Amino acid sequence: MAFLDPGDVVLIPDPGYPAYQAAAGLCGAEVVLYKLDPSAGWRPDLKSIDKRVLKRAKLMWINYPNMPTGAMADTALFKEIVEFATKHEILVCNDNPYSFILNEEHKSILSIEGAKDVALELNSLSKSHNMPGWRIGMVAGKSIFIDAVLRVKSNTDSGMFRPVQLAAAKALKSKETWYESLNNIYRQRRNAAEKLMRSIGCRFESNQCGMFLWGKIPNVYKDSVELSDKLLSRAGVFIAPGSIFGESGSRYVRISLCADKRVFAEAVKRVEENL
């Protein structure tokens, strides 16, 4: 609402977080999906985007570390995106809530030269500080962009409950040991999730970051929905079919690392006994 008018084009990754499309729909924008290439580490092929589309594009969503694929962006990719956005006068929004989850390199697109002229970055305490439901997030960028966001935000609510703000300020002062402890838990769950992936015959990249595990399904299934339905009906185990994140996810499934490792052990047991 701060940057798009009805009919404007917004570029959204496929696969990607479904809320990006929903938000575009609220302001009547036209959604154009761009593919993330699995053979290139789930990076976008910016050159493949139709030039006619680029003339009308006003906003581009990116999400690194990526959900659902767990892919990371290096400096070279961020530079390419900044150059692309500058050339085509597109505002880039990097949704970056997984930056501290199983990720040794905390990169911000705003660290790239010229990025502040064409980019915003979003983050959240939901993942990094175990505060989902508190609805505490942040946006960083140039003042002209922040002012545009504030014009909309200040007319949708009257501010956040002060004790919640104070708690968030305290959480942001967490020492490195907090993140180490949190990631140790996620690492144990990740190991357990990998066992579950293998038990259903899925292949996955070992260098994923974030709080999910993304795996490619065996060829015996026509798509991820068929595998997901089979697991649920026969073993009572639910795994998200990748198709809910876009057409490019139709042959993938996503496992969340939010469950306790004992839950993963039970899931593996059920799969082995019932499939």
What digits encode the pLDDT tens for the residues 224-263? Answer: 999 999 999 999 999 999 999 999 999 999 999 999 999 9
The answer on 263 and 201 residing in a single domain is yes
> What's the rounded mean pLDDT across residues 46-75?
97
Res. 275: pLDDT tops 90: no
Q: What pTM, to 2 d.p., does this model score?
A: 0.94
Q: Domain span at residue 23?
A: 9-171
Looking at the chain, the whole-number percentage of residues with pLDDT higher than 90 is 95
- Report pLDDT for 210: 96
Rounded CA separation 123/3 (Å): 19
Tens-place pLDDT, residues 123-173: 999 999 999 999 999 999 999 999 999 999 989 888 889 999 999 999 999
* pLDDT for residue 255: 98
2-21 mean pLDDT: 96
Q: Is residue 1 part of a domain?
A: no
- The residue among 150, 171, 192 that closes a domain is 171
Domain contains 244: yes
pLDDT at 105 over 90: no
Of 131, 154, 171, which closes a domain? 171
Average pLDDT over residues 173-196: 96
pLDDT at res. 106: 87
pLDDT at 117: 99
Return the pLDDT at 158.
80
Q: Name the domain count of the chain.
A: 2
Instruction: Give the residue-averaged pLDDT of 18-38.
Output: 96
Say if residue 13 is in the same domain as residue 134: yes
